[in-house]
Amino acid sequence: MCGVLCGCSNLPEPYAPPMQRPFFEASPVARLLDMADADAESHFVQDISAELEANTWRWTGKRPTISLRSGSKDEPAYSIDFAIAGTTFEQTGPVTLSFFVNDHLLDRVRYAAPGPQRFRKPVPAEWLQPDENVTLAAEIDKLWTPPQPGGKPLGFILVKLGLESKNPEPK
């Protein structure tokens, strides 16, 4: 029976060319890690709370650090969305944040008022290796100390941290 069925083989007629696929531009960015991302915690290195607040942000400690793969062929920019909480600011007063890429100091900025902030600055190409892990950190000079003993000191409110394209516009 197998022999008979073998004789009825089902080879196709020649094909016409198929639909031509579009070209997908390589993504110009590596990754901007949103604190609400489902896999965010897997990128944390230190000083970022495991608790996600209001589904958008997390408290930090002294030097919140994450690890990402750079991945991009383009020269990316360090990018951070964060906020200085009014409550902590009352105690600490103006604070200075230092931004690091692979432990290289990228910049240092003083914030004299509470509220949401955004910092963005291109990263020198020689600090990154394509498709290698990169660590990104932001260090605050003064921590808020809780009034009750044993409470955890807090840094600032972190919303997003990562790398963005230096040239965000489509090519």
Partner 1 sequence: MKALAALAGAAFTVAACYALGAVIVARLGARLRRDEKFPLAFVVGAAVLHLAIFAVMALGFAYKPVLIGMLTACVGAACATGDWRLPVRQQSSREDLLYRAIRYLFGIIAAAFTVLYLFNAWAPEISPDGSSYHLGLVARYLRARGFERVTTNMLFSFSEGVEMLYVPAFAIGRHSAAALVHFAFLLSLALAVLAYGKRIGKPLAGAAAALLVYLSPIVGIDGTSAYTDVAAAAIVFAVFYWIQLWDENRNNRILIAAGLLAGYCYAAKYTAFVMIVYAVGLVAWRTRKWQPVGLLVGCSLIMAAPWAVKDWIYLHNPVAPFANQWFPNPYLYVLVEKLWTARMRTYGLKNLWTLPLEVTIHGETTQGLLGPVFLAAPLALLALRSRAGRILLIPGALVFITYVGNIGTRFLIPSLPFLSLAMALALEGVAPLLALLVVFHAVSSWPTVLMRYTNAWSLHEIPYKAALRILPEEQFLGAHTEYQWARMVEKNVPPGKLVFTLSGLPDAYTTREVLITYWGGLNNDIGDALTMGWSKPWQPVKLLSFILPDAKYRRLRVVQTGVATFPEEQWNVHEIRLFHGGAELPRRPAWRLQAFPDPWGVQRAFDNSEATRWRSWETLRPGMWIAVDLGREEDVDRVQVELSGDEWDARMRLETTDAGNRWIPLTVATEERHVPPSGSLRRAATYEAHLRGVDYFLIKDDDYGAGDYAEFTRDWGLTLLEHAYGASVYRVNPDAMNPAQVIP
Query: Cα separation of 1 and 104, whole Å?
Result: 73
Site residues for partner 1, 145-164, by CB under 8 A, read none
* Residue 69 binding partner 1, by CB under 8 A: yes
**CB 20 to partner 1: min, Å:** 4
Please check whether residue 48 is in contact with residue 67, taking contact to mean a CB–CB distance below 8 angstroms. no
* Residue 166 binding partner 1, by CB under 8 A: no
Please check whether residue 76 is in contact with residue 123, taking contact to mean a CB–CB distance below 8 angstroms. yes
Query: Cα separation of 106 and 46, whole Å?
Result: 19
Query: DSSP letter string over 99-142?
Result: EEETTEEEEEEEE-S-EEEEEEEEPPGGG--TTSEEEEEEEES-
**What is the identity of the amino acid at 8?**
C
* Residue 129 binding partner 1, by CB under 8 A: no
The stretch among 20-28, 47-55, 105-113, 114-122 that binds partner 1 (CB under 8 A) is: 20-28
Residue closer to partner 1, measured from CB, 66 or 154:
66
* Residue 37 binding partner 1, by CB under 8 A: yes
Residues binding partner 1 (CB under 8 A) = 1-2, 5-6, 9-12, 14-31, 37-39, 42, 68-69, 71, 168, 170-171
